[in-house]
């Protein structure tokens, strides 16, 4: 039996210890703050980053894809440990160059790798890892595994309600005038991943209540047409558990047959979208290949 390695990056936002339980190697995204570099989840947690941002009104954290060297080190170690090949499921290339770096590193050291640009992230990215593991456990080979993942990645839905325009103003993603107008009108921008895995504007609404109403309406529209894989969708947040619980309540009230799991985003989302950001995401209902 082949010895198979599983690889992803920290923007899948596995809970601490969760990836290890299912044998997944996680390469961390880098966060840069005031000239210092931190590895996501390794050197800094979302709570620690939030504290640093609160203590420094001018703090403007940025993120950087995992280094090529980190991937080289991992793939060299996997070869040394006798792995025959690996599957790598990475954050959408619309947000990061992680996928390209991973593939290039594997080629450089001669490690056989089946890698996919997920076109998504967070728990959807995790779900692709679990789907692939399920298929391998059922005896499916690389061709069928990769074909199935390609199908799923094009059936992903991901929406993000931006929580803190101040964070975006600090980083220059919005102008001062845009920030003031958004604050005055209590505007909540909603973004989504498009068909190419890029984060693009979806709608702007006034108040979080209206944003949640918009999300429930969008879920209802998509679910009625395409269903929900495993009857499960995810609500994630940056230090906004009460808001996430409220969105879950609204979704379950409208769709009592759907399981809603609440998870927390990692420091990288806090760095870009700020605290109080809430996301909702899922896959269309897709049957897995027969076992």
Classify 214 as helix, strand or coil: helix
Cross-strand partners of 38: 31
Comma-separated ranges of CATH 3.30.1180.10 domains in the chain = 156-283
pLDDT at position 227: 97
Residue 57 — pLDDT band, cuts 50, 70, 90? confident
The CATH fold assigned to 156-283 is Hypothetical Protein Tm841; Chain: A;domain 3 (3.30.1180)
Comma-separated ranges of CATH 3.40.50.10170 domains in the chain = 4-29+65-153
Beta strands in the chain (DSSP E): 4-9, 24-27, 30-33, 36-39, 62-64, 85-90, 113-117, 156-161, 187-193, 199-206, 232-237, 259-264, 278-283
pLDDT at position 166: 62
Residue 214 — pLDDT band, cuts 50, 70, 90? very high
Q: What is the CATH number of domain 4-29+65-153?
A: 3.40.50.10170
**Highest-confidence range of 167-171, 176-180, 254-258, by mean pLDDT?**
254-258
Pairing relationship of beta strands 36-39 and 62-64 according to DSSP bridges: unpaired
pLDDT at position 291: 64
- Chain-centroid distance, C-alpha 256: 25
157 pLDDT exceeds 70? yes
Residue 171 — pLDDT band, cuts 50, 70, 90? low
């Amino acid at each position: 039996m082949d010895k198979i390695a599983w690889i992803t990056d920290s923007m899948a936002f596995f809970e601490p210890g969760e990836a290890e339980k299912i044998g997944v190697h996680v390469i961390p995204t880098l966060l840069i703050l005031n000239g210092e570099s931190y590895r996501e989840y390794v050197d800094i947690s979302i709570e620690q980053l939030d504290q640093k941002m609160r203590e420094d009104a001018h703090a403007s954290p940025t993120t950087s894809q995992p280094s090529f060297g980190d991937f080289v080190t991992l793939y060299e170690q996997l070869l040394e440990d006798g792995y025959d090949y690996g599957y790598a499921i990475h954050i959408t290339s619309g947000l990061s160059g992680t996928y390209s770096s991973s593939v290039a590193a594997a080629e450089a050291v001669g490690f056989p790798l089946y890698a996919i640009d997920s076109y998504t992230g967070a728990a959807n990215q995790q779900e692709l890892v679990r789907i692939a593991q399920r298929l391998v456990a059922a005896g499916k080979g690389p061709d069928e595994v990769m074909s199935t993942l390609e199908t799923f990645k094009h059936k992903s839905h991901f929406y993000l309600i931006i929580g803190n325009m101040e964070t975006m103003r600090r980083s220059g993603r919005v102008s001062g005038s845009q920030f003031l107008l958004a604050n005055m009108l209590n505007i909540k921008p909603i973004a989504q991943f498009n068909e190419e895995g890029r984060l693009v504007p979806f709608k702007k609404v006034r108040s979080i209540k209206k944003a949640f109403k918009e999300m429930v309406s969008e879920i209802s529209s998509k679910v009625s047409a395409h269903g929900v894989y495993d009857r499960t969708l995810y609500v994630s947040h940056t230090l906004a558990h009460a808001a996430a619980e409220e969105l879950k309540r609204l979704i379950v009230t409208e769709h009592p047959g759907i399981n809603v799991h609440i998870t927390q985003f990692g420091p990288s989302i806090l760095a870009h979208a700020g605290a109080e950001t809430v996301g909702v995401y899922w896959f269309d209902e897709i049957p897995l290949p027969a076992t």
